[in-house]
Amino acid sequence: MLQFLIDHNFLVLSLLFIMPGIAIWLLRKDLREPIFLMSVASIPFAFTEYLFYPNYWEPKFLWNLIDKIGFGLEDIIFVIGLASFSSTVYAFIFQFKYHPREKINRIRQIQRISLLFIIVLILLLSVLYFKIPIIYGSIIIMIGLSLFIFNQRRDLISPAIWGGCLTCLIYTILCVVLIIIYPRIFTITWHTDKFLNLYFFGLPFEELLYGYSSGFIATIFYPYATNSYFIKK
């Protein structure tokens, strides 16, 4: 079992990332709906692993699924975990809850989410067309989607900034735990020499940017989709 975990560091990373979301789920019943919705909405992004592998990083996957279907079970666990805490950590830490500005039905919510996914697709195709490295492209996509939301919801700018900071902090802590378990993980598995090759707290700078950008967009995705805003509990 120990050797299995040593060999499958991405699985360990994914399991670490799902823990904060589970804690928030257990402690805040009112945040369970956004956690569920964001978890479901995040799953399609697991299928983009083939864009990162092996140029950006090269972990080992369960059953070698990356070579068979282009992504792994670890990707699904990871994106669900990241979406769960990145979307709710702002509300959790600052004791906010969601309040509808104007109630919209489920069809309208689906339409809003669909629009966001269309924008993501357009931005992704642009990133691929201009051959931007996907780690930077994913950051551009998340910031670009956030700017689209800000154009309609200026009240979400501050939550996005704080959500990004909190997510980056948790992201860093979880990765530091990974470093404690696998001391040379980021120099062995990540191909940082192809990018900035800058490290902070033992993490590639790109990972910190990715963590911040994830929280930046995830914090405001749900309130935009449901036409709600943050109020104190």
Q: What is the per-residue pLDDT across 193-205, written as a single tens digit (0 to 9) for each?
A: 899 999 998 899 9
Q: Per-residue pLDDT for 7 more than 90?
A: no
Q: Per-residue pLDDT for 15 more than 80?
A: yes
Phi, psi of 90 (to 5 degrees): -65, -50
Mean pLDDT of 101-130: 92
Q: What is the per-residue pLDDT across 71-98, written as a single tens digit (0 to 9) for each?
A: 999 999 999 999 999 999 999 999 999 9
Q: Per-residue pLDDT for 231 more than 80?
A: yes
Q: How far are the Cα atoms of 89, 141, 214, 229, 233 from residue 94, in angstroms, in the given order?
A: 8, 27, 18, 14, 9
Reduce the secondary structure of 104-126 to three states and give it as a string: CCHHHHHHHHHHHHHHHHHHHHH
Q: How many domains does the chain have?
A: 1
**Cβ atoms 203, 186 nearer than 8 A:** yes
| CA 9 centroid distance within chain | 18
Identify the pLDDT of residue 59: 92
Q: State the pLDDT confidence band at 105, using cuts at 50, 70 and 90.
A: confident
Q: What is the DSSP string of 22-37?
A: HHHHHH-GGGHHHHHH
Burial (CB count <10 Å: 0-12, 13-18, 19+), residue 119: middle
Bridge partner list, 199: 204
d(CA 152, CA 5): 46
The token pair at 208 is 């910190």
pTM over 0.75: yes
Bridge partner list, 203: 200
Q: Whole domain around residue 125: which residue ranges?
A: 2-232
State the DSSP code for 221: H
